[in-house]
Amino acid sequence: MKQNIFKSIADLRFAILILLVIAAFSVIGTVIEQDQSIETYKLNYPLTNRVFGFLSWDIILRFGLDHIYKTWWFISLILLFGISLLTCTLLQQFPALKIARRCQFFRTTQQFCRLNISTNLQHLSFSQLLFKIKENKYSIFQQKNIIYCYKGLIGRIAPIIVHFSMILVLIGAIIGSISGFKAQEIVPKTETFHIQNVLTNGQFTFIPKVSVRVNDFWITYTKQTTIAQFYSDLSILNGDGNEIERKTIFVNSPAKYNGVDYYQTDWNLIGLRMKNKDLVVYQYPLINLPTTSEKIWLTWISNNQQLDDGFTILINNLQGYCSVYNKVGEFIGNLELNESLKTSNSITLMDILSSTGLQIKADPGIALIYLGFLFLMISTLISYITYSQIWIVQDKKKIFIGGTTTRATFDFELEFLKLVK
């Protein structure tokens, strides 16, 4: 009974069935937004108007469809698929490789009928034929008048490496799912932060108690005034506030420390620092206009305490200037850094306060996933190596010769014809 169970698990059809189930749930996890708030699911999947006639927010939460890749049943499917691959490797692939290494002699001439290509010769001697086969880098085994030759045995290892690489990828995915995390932080320039706004995490996730200081944030622009790149200068601090490591990050170039990656993702403007003619410094908050297609911020600077007279300031970049409008919306001019606006209050723009958007991510299983894909690429190259076999039997004055190959049949036929020509 145990043997039957293991053979069923190692069966290719069973592995394909499990893989299709995993793929189906992965598609569901792609369609349904993952790790969102309950309000988001109530809004998009209401009880009164069910999606596809049955899908509502209560079903999504009940069966864990809001975090499919972390549910026990999805991880169990991955483990079952991994067990199927491992069992297939132990019960089928290794025995097949062991058989391929053995000398498989043909004892009778009738066995040549089942080969892809075979013939009989009278004009060649045994020694001439063996010399030509040796030139083609075949391994030769002989017992009196029967010969067995093969080459490309390493090509038979490719399926084993494929299974091994897929198991590594699955293990890495499980480790990343149960112990990784992803967080998002919007941090003003010169501020220090801890990882707090965690978006997703696993059952065994450990959030590191590390402090990070944003030393600076800036944006570079092209000649057409479009954004070229975002930059954040970060410092990793120890418990005493001393700098351990420092790096300037930009898009697709994160900072890495103790398995945690810090990515540049977003930016924001939070305020303007001004001073008046009396050298009193004020800080005005900027409000983002979400209805526009591009990022635009504005603030109101009053000339009196009644707030009925003043200026509207608009800004949409970090190039060191902003646009000034009067209370009826007429454009007055651009105000640059350290430049004064000639009004009754004579204000001077001292600084544009910005914040950087950082995505903090840890995936302990990513190294295993990369290693698995490396072995998968190696197995793909190895699979191109053809495993070819040739049998020879000498019966009186006739020499019976035949062969077969796992791939590149046409090339093997050409090689075979050159041997017997």
Give the rounded percent of residues in the chain with a pLDDT score beyond 70: 97
Q: Which of 189, 212, 193 is nearest to 318 (CA)?
A: 189
**pLDDT in the model for residue 165:** 92
Q: Say whether domain 103-152+386-420 belongs to CATH 3.30.310.
A: yes
In angstroms, how far is the first alpha carbon of the chain from the final one?
Answer: 54
All structural domains of the chain with their residue ranges: 2-84, 103-152+386-420, 181-362
Q: What is the share, in percent, of the chain residues with pLDDT greater than 90? A: 24
Instruction: Give the integer Cα–Cα distance in Å for 393 and 396.
Output: 10
- Which of 147, 126, 104, 118 is closest to 402 using CA atoms? 118
What is the chain's length? 421
Question: Which pairs with CB-CB distance under 8 Å and at least 24 residues apart come from 186-189?
Answer: 186/266, 186/268, 186/355, 186/356, 186/357, 186/358, 187/212, 187/214, 187/355, 187/356, 187/358, 188/214, 188/270, 188/353, 188/354, 188/355, 189/214, 189/215, 189/216, 189/217, 189/353, 189/354, 189/355, 189/356
Give the model's pLDDT for residue 177: 86
pLDDT tens profile 72-123: 899 899 989 988 888 888 888 888 777 777 778 888 878 888 888 888 887 7
pLDDT at 254 over 90: yes
- Token readout for 238 is 């120890």
Based on the number of CB atoms within 10 Å of its own CB, is 335 exposed (0-12), middle (13-18) or buried (19 or more)?
buried
Residue 39, SS3? Answer: helix
pTM of the entire predicted model: 0.70
Position 343 pLDDT exceeds 70: no
Q: How would residue 225 be classed by pLDDT, with cut points 50, 70 and 90?
A: confident
The whole-chain average pLDDT of the chain stands at 86
